[in-house]
Amino acid sequence: MTRSICIIDGHPDPDPDHLIHALCDAYAEGAEATNHKVSRIRVADLNVPFLTSQAEFDDPPPEPILSQRGKIAEADHLFIAFPLWLGGMPARLKAFFEQAARAEFFLKTRESNAGWPERMMKGKSARIVVTMGMPDLIYRFGMDAGALKALERGVLGLSGFKPMHHTIIGSVDELTPSKVESWFTFMKEIGGEAV
């Protein structure tokens, strides 16, 4: 079954030599090879302001965020990749999610104000890829995979994304060329399956 996929490349540095960019490219290649429709959001290409008030959050975001989040709305599946910075996602990516969430995009308040907000992303699935310099086991167990869990349980889980999968790639500075190639192969495979 052909799916619509939105790839969010969360590395804030546009330098093409970053592993995150290459992983996103490999995922897109696999998805396109099996006729999935692919759109992309590169946070490195966006000027993303920080939210500063509830009043801002209640109004729709400015361009280009407004049109970029339309790609999320149109997608069946979201692929998000980012490097771990200071134990969390880079600030520009976090700011993008905050801006995209404006005006009840992810969650819609019920008119009665009683009960759970309406999950606006129901029916969509997601895959998160996180890269880091530390070994992945330290991140998983020593740091409890905090940034990953915050994204899965927070923005994505609360708004209805299901199922969600994740991939953690640790010790990136020590990856051999063959190991990097094996990660690219894996990304192409899961891209082809849209998972």
Alpha helix segments (H runs only) across 37-172: 54-58, 65-74, 91-100, 136-137, 146-150, 157-159
Residue 46: which of 61, 63, 59 has the closest Cα?
63
What pLDDT score does 115 carry? 72
Each residue's pLDDT tens digit, 105-149: 999 987 666 677 889 999 999 999 999 999 999 998 888 898 999
What's the pLDDT score for residue 144? Answer: 86
Domain 4-193, second-level architecture: 3-Layer(aba) Sandwich (3.40)
pLDDT at residue 39 tops 90: yes
Among left, alpha and beta (phi > 0; psi -120 to 50; other), residue 118 is beta
b/e map 115-126, b = 16+ CB within 10 Å: eeeebbbeebbb
Tokens 């600030």 locate to: 91
Tell me how far apart the terminal alpha carbons of the chain are, to the nearest angstrom.
12
Task: Sketch the domain layout of the chain as residue ranges.
Answer: 4-193
Closest residue by Cα to residue 168 from 187, 126, 140: 140
Q: Check residue 194 and give its pLDDT.
A: 96
Distance CA 84, CA 124 (A): 24
The distance from CA 126 to its chain's CA centroid, rounded to whole angstroms, is 8
Mean pLDDT over all residues of the chain? 95
Least confident of 19-28, 106-115, 165-174: 106-115
85 pLDDT band (50/70/90 cuts)?
A: very high
Transcribe 173-194 into DSSP letters: GG--HHHHHHHHHHHHHHHHHT
Our CA angle for 188, 15, 72, nearest 5°, is 55
Tens digit of each residue's pLDDT (9 = 90 or more) over 138-167: 998 888 898 999 999 999 999 999 999 999
DSSP assignment letter at 84? -
